[in-house]
Amino acid sequence: MFRTSGFPETPLRRYVTHLTRDIEAKGFDVVDAFDCRGFDTWLPLRIVGGIQKGHPDATDITAARAFAGKLQARMTAKP
């Protein structure tokens, strides 16, 4: 699973946990997750023009590609 968010996950707001549960409830398997900051204009943030402008950036994309490569290698190595 690839996910972006304006804020990191906190113990009080388990975004990834809830998203994973929702995806699995639809019948999909989530074997790993990648998370990075993303431009966020959710309602209250829209007032100030959003947060995390410029994200995902080149560094985030490089990290996502590395994650995808490792995941691909893991999945193709499975018997």
| pLDDT tens digits, 9-47 | 777 777 778 888 999 999 999 988 888 888 888 888 888
Are 69 and 52 a contacting pair, CB within 8 Å? Answer: no
pTM higher than the cut 0.85: no
Question: Which residues constitute the domain of residue 71?
Answer: 2-77
What does the pLDDT read at residue 78?
65
CA distance 53 to 49: 9
Domain count, the chain: 1
Are 11 and 50 a contacting pair, CB within 8 Å? Answer: no
The pair of structure tokens assigned to 27 is 């019948």
Contacts of 41 (CB under 8 A, 6+ apart): 49, 50
**Among 59, 70, 62, which residue's Cα sits nearest to residue 31?**
70
